[in-house]
Structures are given as structure tokens and as C-alpha cells.
Amino acid sequence: RVCEPSTFGWHCKFACHCREGSCDPINGTCPSGCKENRYGPGCQLLSVFRYSVDAYGYQGSTDRTADGEKCVTWNNTLLIAMYGVKSSDFPDEAIPGAVCRNPKNPKLRGLEGRGPWCFINFMEKTDFYGSCDIPVRGCDSGRFGELCEFECHCKNESPCTPMGICPSGCHPGWLNSTCQTPCDAGYYGEGCLSACGNCKSGPCDFEFGECIGGCLTGWMGKLCKTGK
């Protein structure tokens, strides 16, 4: 299925939020980067929210603690020397500026409590870090994961749980506990139990079995299973 400009994903259900131009029609990646106050896969997430309790993936622009203290940049030579802060501690593998984050660094595990935080002017204060007041918000309908990076593939396009489980079962063409695995080539439908018909080129559509490139000589119908 070909998505309209500025839409992407399974059945083109999601809107792009690129700084300029459109996005990749499959995963929503924006070559120009995200609009202001957007972040995450497909620029779907709003900077004023975190989307899980610990929020290791938070990449928003909030730059003050809950007490109103201004964050200092993570790329500070003293912090790097004291705590070994490095780019791999952050979700985008880049040391950020003066913004709230929750880096995955064993040397920092006792500082942050829960959720995003940042260092403040530790040369002048006893408390040299503070938690950031960023409320938790669930993923938009049709998405799940730490960064809402996964799409639900539930039957009848119904929403999945925050853990990605489809109470109604998987949509035709998808398998596993969170309905993330498409059928193997040559199979389609509910449970991937149906074999493709006599397609002229390539496998059939893994959801409904249609032969996109037409049928081999002697066969007809969308599924190419009816002999002429």
C-alpha cells in the first residue's frame, strides 16, 4: 500500500511530524529532523511528556528541574571526568546539551531516582542534581514500547495493550505474542496458514493473499487460485 505524503506505517495510520518535507513511508524517519517539541521514532512523541516510568529513552527539550533549576550540559569536562559520561549512555548515542535525561550509566544509577533528571550548578550547591517534572503519558493508539517505537497489528486494527498484546488476536498476516512477525514468504492470512496462489512475480500479499503482480498463465482472480 502506498501512503499519502506525510503519512507512514502499517496501513498509513500515522502522521509525520518532520521539520520540513515528508517522512519515510515505512518507519516515519524524518531526514530533516523533527518539528520543535517532537522526538522519538517517527517524531511521534511530545517533548513535554515521557512515555515510560524510567524514561531511559526521553529525548525531549525540557531543560529545568522540578524546582526550576537550570540544567547544565552533560558535555561538561568535570562531569565526564567524575562520572565517565559518554555518548553510548544516551538513546541517540550523542551527549546532549543542557536538558533532562535519564542516562544508562552504572555510575549514575544512584542519582536520578525515577525518570529524567539533570545536573545543576554543582560548583555552587550541595544538591548538584535534580529530578525534572515531566509527566508520564501513554502511547497514542496503535503504538507501544519504551519510545512507542512499535506498531500494533491487532485484528480489525483494534488497539493493543501497553505491553503490545492484542486481546482480539493478530490481524491476518501477523504472528507472535505481540503480532510483530509477518508471515513467511509464500503464506498469508490468519495464523499464516494459507499458501499463496499462482502468482506471476514474487510472493502474494502476506495479509490477504492478493497477487500484486498478477497471475501465472492459466490462473485468474485476486488470489490466482482459480483455473481458466
Alpha helix (H) residue ranges in 24-138: 77-83
Q: In the prediction, which pLDDT does 108 show? A: 79
Residue 152 to residue 11: CA distance in whole angstroms: 11
Average pLDDT over residues 131-143: 93
Average pLDDT, the chain: 91
Burial 66-104 (b: 16+ CB within 10 A, else e): eeebebbebebeebeeebebeeebbbeeebbebbbbbbe
Q: In the prediction, which pLDDT does 2 show? A: 80
**% residues pLDDT > 70 (the chain):** 95
Q: In the prediction, which pLDDT does 123 show? A: 62
Q: How many CB atoms lie within 10 A of CB 15?
A: 15
**% residues pLDDT > 90 (the chain):** 74
- Looking at the predicted structure, is the pLDDT value of residue 206 above 70? yes
Q: In the prediction, which pLDDT does 64 show? A: 94
Q: In the prediction, which pLDDT does 107 show? A: 78
> What is the number of alpha carbons within 13 Å of residue 40 lying toward its C-beta?
26
Quickly list DSSP for 150-197.
EE--BGGGPPPPTT---TT-BPTTEETTTT-EEPPTTEESGGG-EEP-
Q: In the prediction, which pLDDT does 125 show? A: 56
Q: In the prediction, which pLDDT does 80 show? A: 82
Instruction: Determine phi and psi for 190, rounding to 5 degrees.
Output: -65, 125
Residue 76 to residue 211: CA distance in whole angstroms: 58
Residue 85 to residue 75: CA distance in whole angstroms: 8
Q: In the prediction, which pLDDT does 72 show? A: 92
Q: In the prediction, which pLDDT does 124 show? A: 60
Q: Are 39 and 49 in contact (CB under 8 A)?
A: no
Give the tens place of pLDDT for each residue, 141-198. Answer: 999 999 999 999 999 999 999 999 999 999 999 999 999 999 999 999 999 999 999 9
- pTM score of the predicted model: 0.84
Burial 145-165 (b: 16+ CB within 10 A, else e): bbbbbbbbbbeeeebbeeebe
Q: In the prediction, which pLDDT does 164 show? A: 96
User: What superfamily does domain 53-135 belong to in CATH?
Assistant: Plasminogen Kringle 4 (2.40.20.10)
**Domain definitions of the chain by residue range:** 53-135, 158-228
CA quadruple 130, 50, 181, 205: dihedral sign: negative
Q: How many CB atoms lie within 10 A of CB 125?
A: 11
Give the tens place of pLDDT for each residue, 43-85. Answer: 999 999 999 988 999 999 999 999 999 999 998 888 788 888 8
Residue 149 to residue 217: CA distance in whole angstroms: 42
